[in-house]
A = this chain, B = another copy of it.
Amino acid sequence: MTEQHIAKVFDRDLEGIQARIMKMGGLVEAAILGAAQSLASRDVELAEKVRAGDAAIDDLEVLINEETARLLALRSPTAGDLRLVLTVMKISGNLERIGDYAKNIAKRTGVLTQLPPVNGSTASLKRMAREVELMLKDALDAYIQRDAELAKDVIERDREVDQMYNALFREFLTFMMEDPRSITACMHLHFIAKNTERMGDHVTGIAEQVIYLVTGERPDETRVKADDTSVSVLEG
């Protein structure tokens, strides 16, 4: 095989893997929206669909892992090609985790429908999930277009998601103190808010991979980290 031929085979293999990443991204976006929708409309059937759909996302990750391993073994990529393969592995790992969070949110819908609703908080949760879904769409676009600026913008927007989470955390504390009967529901809603905020962190992880892929540099770790959020709310 000539070098040119090897390069072509590598590109074709990689294209196949990238197509799977995009498919996985589409499923994960749908899972985020489905989970938020099922919660807002107390739709147990939709929640069950999201829950069951996570297996397809997991399967894609396993497949991508196998295919990248095969690519590494057979094509021994170096430099930029190797960096790309490693990036793909990390992105599929992040997508799998976001899918898991969506599934976990959907699981709680069933429990929450058996409890009295808590003051419009599901609408805020849905807005937050919608924002994370848009960030994910942009992070994947940034990946396809090798657009480091768009990726930076996604990372920036994660601050807003953290702020939404902080506001919700404060709200839940207030609800629980005002009405102890709402404690169980609020604990579940808080889990959902936290899971959504963690999804945003994983979207940020994807955006950071894009920046690394394009610039070769790791972004600064200066932004407020995930779990600081509710700590600072109560310290302040």
Within 8 A of B (CB), among A101-133: 104, 107-108, 110-111
Q: How far is the CB of A234 from chain B (nearest CB, A)?
A: 5
Main secondary structure of the interface of A (DSSP, over half): helix
B-side contacts of A191, CB under 8 Å: 227, 230
- Known A107-B228, A111-B234, A176-B183; further 8 A-B contacts with Cβ < 8 A: A72-B72, A100-B227, A104-B227, A108-B231, A173-B184, A187-B190, A191-B227, A191-B230
> Does A82 have its Cβ within 8 Å of any Cβ on chain B?
yes
B-side contacts of A40, CB under 8 Å: none
- A73 near B78 with CB under 8 A, answer yes
- B177 near A183 with CB under 8 A, answer yes
- B76 near A231 with CB under 8 A, answer no
B-side contacts of A228, CB under 8 Å: 107
Q: How far is the CB of A87 from chain B (nearest CB, A)?
A: 11
> Does A69 have its Cβ within 8 Å of any Cβ on chain B?
yes
Number of copies of this kind of chain in the complex = 2
- A234 near B184 with CB under 8 A, answer yes
- B187 near A183 with CB under 8 A, answer no
> Does A3 have its Cβ within 8 Å of any Cβ on chain B?
no
Q: How far is the CB of A179 from chain B (nearest CB, A)?
A: 9
User: Chain A: residues with CB nearer than 8 A to chain B?
Assistant: 62, 69, 72-73, 76-79, 82-83, 86, 93, 100, 104, 107-108, 110-111, 173, 176-177, 180, 183-184, 187-188, 190-191, 195, 218, 227-228, 230-231, 234-235
Nearest residue (CB) in B for A228 is: B107
Q: How far is the CB of A114 from chain B (nearest CB, A)?
A: 8
B-side contacts of A187, CB under 8 Å: 173, 190, 230
B-side contacts of A218, CB under 8 Å: 62
